[in-house]
Amino acid sequence: MEKFSISLIVFTVFWGLIGIVLPFLIPKGPHRRLIQTMLALTSACCWLFWLCFYLHQWKPLFGPQISSVDARALKVLWGQDL
Amino acid sequence: MTLCQLFLQPDAAYSCISELGELGIVQFRDLNPNVNSFQRKYVNEVRRCEEMERKLRFLETEIKKDELPIYDPEDNPDAPKPREMIDLEATFEKLDHELKEINTNADALLRNFNELTELKHNLTMTQGFFDDAEMAFTPAHNRNQRDSDDDQVQLLYEYSMISHNKLGFITGVVPRERMVAFERMLWRVCRGNVFLRQAEIPELIEDPVSGEKLHKTVFVVFFQGEQLKNRVQKICEGFRANIYPCPENPHERRELAMGVMTRLEDLTVVLSQTQDHRQRVLAATSRNLRTWQIKVKKIKAIYHTMNMFNNDVARKCLIAECWAPVSELDRIQLALRKGSEASGGGTVSSVLNRMVTREQPPTHHKLNKFTQGFQNLVDAYGVATYREINPMPFVLITFPFLFAVMFGDAGHGILVTIFALWMVLKERSLKDKWRNQEVWTIFFGGRYIILLMGIFSIYTGIIYNDVFSKSLNIFGSSWRVRFGDDTLAKHDSVILEPTPFNYTRSADYRQMFSGTPYPIGLDPVWQLADNKITYTNSVKMKFAIIIGITQMGFGLFLSLWNHLHFNHRHAIYLEFLPQIIFLACIFFYLIILIFYKWTSFDGSKATDAPSLLIHLINMILFSYKTDPPSAAVFYTGQKQFQTFLILLAVLCVPWMLLGKPVYRIIMNKRRANYSTVTNHAAGNDSDVEEQHQEEFHDPAEKRGVVLDADVRDTDTEDMLDDEHSHQQHHQHEVEMSEVWVEQGIHTIEYFLGCISHTASYLRLWALSLAHAQLSEVLWHMILHLGLSMNGYGGAIASFFVFMPWSSLTVFILLLMEGLSAFLHALRLHWVEFQSKFYKGEGYPFVPFSFRLLLDEAPVEA
């Protein structure tokens, strides 16, 4: 459960910094509003995208179906410890 | 944006317009729309400009014919003064005349030269004929060798001796391909009574009339009598053979030949000198050609603009009307002052006068080279209505993002980014290259769009874990194979178990999923899985729905912003609220369900996991069966809550359908009531209320005419909120039936659209699936063949297999799929996103600007 939340916190903070904190630090100029909009939208879209894929894999309803040849290779290469 | 009147002194008008053209921020209106272009005031000047342009074009073709380079000026020259125009005209006239003279002279000389060349060949060949005749003449009795030529000549001689008549002859030159037909024609017409000899000229000579190089043949025709002579002459004319006189006397022939040689030498010298003179003239012209072209274009533009003005004879000035942004009025004043001073001053300077009008001003967005491309995308569908929200800043990010969701391959994304980076970094040098290639100009114009698309594609490619259809394992997979070796030996394929719950109740059941998802993106194990598509379909579809509904909701909130800006209070309650409630009740609820399902159901409850689609359908149909477990309710109170939501949503339909028309009816009644009291000010009650807001901003605005406008703007740096303008809305009676119909259409469009647009967003899933599958096919069918071979053969095979793989990747995956994803992302924005708030009924602001004029001029090939 903790390892699950580590990634969640890291990425939320990362995109939060970019999308919420950074816009306040943009210097005054003709393009200030534009850059703020861009940062906020980018971080919102990218965070949402990452979140959906992360949550979908948290509690999978079924697992991957692998051919036994590949499975044996993976058993050797990756070991058996989760 | 405000409508301005300019009062210009006729002397100063030219330079003022020139300054405004350099500035490029006013759009002039045509004040003489009914006047024929031939009856306008400055039609003569325009004609003179066109004449100058014609001369310049002629000079340009001559320069191009000689393949001289044309020198491009560094920066554009200013528009010349009216006096300079006369000088320019004189220069062009002189150059034009000179060049034409050189050309005619050169042509005449060349023709002469060619004729003399033919004559020279004629003489040399016929020399041969007559020598043969003399040779045969002397040894008349020595006829051991029987050449056919000798026979002919012998016959000729005998015939001439017998007939005691001198044979006439004609010599000439005819193109070789016509020789056979010529001979046959002669034979037939003269019934075989003429004698023809011919000799081919070995080298190509230029025909004096047509100027092309041909193979020609010299011929001599012998005949007897006047009649035959006429016939032969007519045939020669018909075949366009050039006839040359040839003296019979060999001595005279030799003299003529030498004369011809000397004349040819002289002509060669004269021709080369003429060519040199021409080159010199053209080289001098080519240095100034572009500058002159720009100057003439500017002059013409200025006179075209001045033709649009109203010439007020009484007050002896020109009146112009133009649209100008209020924030730029100072710069315009400055330009006018500069222009008045430049033209020699005078005590009265030109005056700018602001006007109040009911017309809709043109829409002007302040753009730079980065935002211009995206604004073009938005404007292609419709230019924003004056002062409504510009979707461009949002489209700037969401368009490349949705493209990337459909494109989703990091390897392809890197290729696209490199291409776009090259175009962006080499902007300056690439700007004017290949300007005639339309495909290139389209790609170059969209270089920033492509750059963003590429960068986002790299990101989505990382999340999809797809680099040229292969996955990266950076953090270690969350799945392990923990089957026994005997299980693996018994079965062809195995399915890894995600849950800890031993539902098979066997002793060696093990959980194969670590419980922590792969940190960034899709787990690399899925690349080897046969059921990868089933797994990714689920997440891609859910994401497509989530992002779609979010974008539509965002569009609705933009419409709220529009309503607040234009102060349409009623629209907020009667349009925005029913729309957002409907969207929320059904589709935001769906999003909540998606997140709930993600977080609450794991592998142990896999067979009971609810199918959200079935639940949505059942929710609308009010059917709550318990039969398949995936359709049974999965939280307490679901039935009641969902029924409540549906009823609320259904309520929104009549709310939106009836709300606005009823409001209109009430407003009309109120207006009718007030007008009976004959109180105009109070009659526009609602409008006065709404305009109160503006009075705080800009008291000067309310006055009709403001002389020498010096009103400062508050928000010049904010490109979304320029100053408030007057409103031109509903002062007039609206036809009620129109309102009902319009509202009916809007209602149906919105509610049906909600559902169809939501489903339409599923194309994000469909295209990303297609792209991934194409990429995988290319890998497995092509590149894998080379990579899977061993040894040196494998190396060579890999080399050869790379070519088809890379070219198919570029053409099919990057170009075709890229174009397809571009189009679909654009459609999603135009239809699904913008229909929620965008009216797009404005017209663009096209300022009178020299820079625009010169950039848009197509380069002649």
DSSP string, B135-180: HHHSSTT---S--HHHHHHHHHHHHHHHH--PPEEEEEEEEGGGHH
Question: Distance between CA B822 and CA B407 in Å, rounded?
Answer: 9
Distance from CA of A20 to the nearest CA of B (A): 16
Q: Which residues of B touch A3 (CB under 8 A)?
A: 515-516
Question: Would you list the domain boundaries of chain A?
Answer: 3-77
CB spacing of A49 vs B397 below 8 angstroms: no
Which residue type, as a one-letter code, is found at position B566?
Answer: F
Give the pLDDT confidence score for residue B697 in this predicted structure.
40
Q: Is B396 in contact with B42 (CB distance < 8 Å)?
A: no
Give the pLDDT confidence score for residue B156 in this predicted structure.
63
The chain A residue lying nearest B610, using CA atoms, is A61
Give the pLDDT confidence score for residue B859 in this predicted structure.
44
CB spacing of A65 vs B397 below 8 angstroms: no
The tokens for B9 are: 């002194």
Give the pLDDT confidence score for residue B191 in this predicted structure.
84
Q: Which residues of B touch A54 (CB under 8 A)?
A: 517, 519
Distance from CA of A24 to the nearest CA of B (A): 16
Question: Distance between CA B27 and CA B128 in Å, rounded?
Answer: 80
Cβ-based neighbour number of residue B185 at 10 Å:
15
Q: Is B182 exposed, middle or buried (0-12, 13-18, 19+ CB in 10 A)?
A: buried
Q: Is B701 in contact with B713 (CB distance < 8 Å)?
A: no
The predicted model scores a pTM of: 0.80
Question: Distance between CA B167 and CA B225 in Å, rounded?
Answer: 8
The chain A residue lying nearest B521, using CA atoms, is A53
Distance from CA of B536 to the nearest CA of A (A): 9
Distance from CA of A15 to the nearest CA of B (A): 13
Judged by phi (left if over 0) then psi (alpha if -120 to 50, else beta), residue B191 lies in: left
CB spacing of B492 vs A67 below 8 angstroms: yes
Report, as ranges of residue numbers, the positions in chain B whose pLDDT lies below 70: 133-166, 345-349, 677-734, 856-861
Question: Distance between CA B450 and CA B420 in Å, rounded?
Answer: 6
Q: Which residues of B touch A63 (CB under 8 A)?
A: 479, 495-498, 512-513, 603
Q: Which residues of A touch B520 (CB under 8 A)?
A: 50
Q: Is B478 in contact with B518 (CB distance < 8 Å)?
A: yes
CB spacing of B480 vs A81 below 8 angstroms: yes
CB spacing of B495 vs A56 below 8 angstroms: no
Q: Using CB atoms, pick whichever of B476, B493, B547 lies closest to residue A67.
A: B493
Distance from CA of B545 to the nearest CA of A (A): 11
CB spacing of B483 vs A71 below 8 angstroms: yes
Q: Is B717 in contact with A32 (CB distance < 8 Å)?
A: yes
Which residue type, as a one-letter code, is found at position B400?
Answer: P
CB spacing of A78 vs B529 below 8 angstroms: no
Question: Distance between CA B768 and CA B405 in Å, rounded?
Answer: 7
Q: Which residues of B touch A53 (CB under 8 A)?
A: 463, 521-522, 539, 543
The chain A residue lying nearest B401, using CA atoms, is A45
Query: Which positions ≥6 away from B672 have C-beta within 8 Å?
Result: none
**Nearest-CA neighbor of A17 among A50, A45, A39?**
A39
Domains of chain B: 1-31+321-362 (no CATH), 115-137+153-258 (3.30.70.2750)
Q: Using CB atoms, pick whichever of B480, B521, B602 lies closest to residue A53.
A: B521
Q: Which residues of B touch A49 (CB under 8 A)?
A: 405, 459-460, 463, 543, 547
The chain B residue lying nearest A43, using CA atoms, is B397
Counting Cα atoms < 13 Å in the Cβ hemisphere of B617 gives: 8
Q: Which residues of B touch A13 (CB under 8 A)?
A: none
CB spacing of B719 vs A41 below 8 angstroms: no
The tokens for B691 are: 């305009």
Q: Which residues of A touch B519 (CB under 8 A)?
A: 7, 54
Question: Distance between CA A11 and CA A4 in Å, rounded?
Answer: 12
CB spacing of B492 vs A49 below 8 angstroms: no
DSSP B26: -
Q: Is B681 in contact with B688 (CB distance < 8 Å)?
A: yes
3-state secondary structure of B368: coil
Q: Is B412 in contact with B469 (CB distance < 8 Å)?
A: no
Q: Which residues of A touch B463 (CB under 8 A)?
A: 49-50, 53
CB spacing of B517 vs A57 below 8 angstroms: yes
Cβ-based neighbour number of residue B817 at 10 Å:
21
Q: Is the ipTM of this complex over 0.95?
A: yes
Question: Distance between CA B634 and CA B648 in Å, rounded?
Answer: 22
Distance from CA of A23 to the nearest CA of B (A): 15
CB spacing of A64 vs B525 below 8 angstroms: yes
The tokens for B358 are: 């009911």
Q: Using CB atoms, pick whichever of A33, A52, A65 lies closest to residue B720.
A: A33
Q: Using CB atoms, pick whichever of A42, A46, A65 lies closest to residue B495.
A: A65
3-state secondary structure of B299: helix
A66 - beta bridge partners?
A: B494
Q: Using CB atoms, pick whichever of B480, B606, B720 lies closest to residue A61.
A: B606
